[in-house]
Copies of this chain bind each other. A is one copy, B any other.
Amino acid sequence: MIGSKISVIVWNEFQHERENPAVRAIYPEGLHATIAAALRETPALNAGALPLEIGTATLDQPEHGLDEERLAACDVLVWWGHKAHEQVSDAVVERVQRRVLEGMGLIVLHSGHFSKIFRRLLGTNCSLKWREADEKERVWVVEPSHPIAAGLGEYFELPCEEMYGERFDVPAPDETVFISWFEGGEVFRSGLCWQRGHGRIFYFRPGHEAYPTYHDASVQRVIANAVRWAAPRVRIADRCPMSPPLEKLSPKTGAFARVGIVQEKGEGK
């Protein structure tokens, strides 16, 4: 929200849709296209909301569609990946990380829990339990006043989803917005917020490629809310400056012979 619009890129590894007819039947243009369309059509609920400008990017594009210039202009990046995490180049991951730390928002969806960028920003394995059994998920709203929960009731249901279960190996979140109940007996913290550097990160659990989850109105509402919540408040480049004193220092005794120290410092910092 530091400009007059919010520039969003929906990124998708875009492999299941090409390889598997069952998935393609659900997301003919790729699930990034479905998510992007939903973002265009989901009205903002907060007063004075800025317009969204939506684009997409995929793994097979040069630099995965995330070159320096494009990423520099991006306010919020939405990330879906599953089977090709290892194909994402470390250079792009580092670039995305730098932009998040400067203030860009990042929305990580479902199997993106194992993406390089999510694990790099969080520092943990991000492991969990899982099961593909076409079972019911009920997503409970734990923080109804959180902007990401705006417009939802006390819960919403997805009739068929993959199960993810605790323990989810992530750092303690700043906020837990949703917790899921699964028909098969598990629970999962399925909407989690973190700040890293100046950027906001939201992880949202639902979205296995074999189900029409991103066609669900509640899921679309959550992603649209999350994009607005994660929009940058600032843009601050990393620096580690030597800073002159703001107050007069007391005279020193000279007890410490510090020959050569200053020169060395330059290397370390």
Interface residues of A (CB under 8 A from B): 1, 4, 16, 19-23, 25, 46-50, 82-83, 85, 97, 101, 103, 111, 114, 120-125, 127-136, 138, 140-147, 150, 154, 160, 163, 165-167, 169, 171-172, 174-176, 179-187, 189, 194-198, 209-211, 232-234, 236, 238-247, 249-250, 252, 255-262, 264-265, 267-269
In contact, A140 and B114 (Cβ under 8 angstroms): no
A1-B46, A167-B144, A264-B20 in contact; A124/B197 too (CB < 8 A)? yes
Q: Residues of B contacting A176 with CB < 8 Å?
A: 172, 176
- Which chain B positions have C-beta within 8 A of A147? 233
Question: Is the beta-carbon distance between A124 and B185 smaller than 8 angstroms?
Answer: no
Are B185 and A169 within 8 A (Cβ)? Answer: no
The 14 sampled A-B contact pairs (Cβ below 8 Å) are A1-B46, A22-B258, A22-B259, A48-B48, A130-B243, A134-B249, A140-B166, A140-B186, A144-B236, A145-B232, A154-B167, A180-B187, A181-B186, A210-B256
Q: A179-B187, A239-B127 are in contact. Are A144 and B1 (CB under 8 A)?
A: no
In the complex, what's the smallest C-beta–C-beta distance from A197 to chain B, in angstroms?
5
| Interchain CB contact under 8 A, B21 and A233 | no
Cβ of A186 to closest chain B Cβ, rounded Å: 7
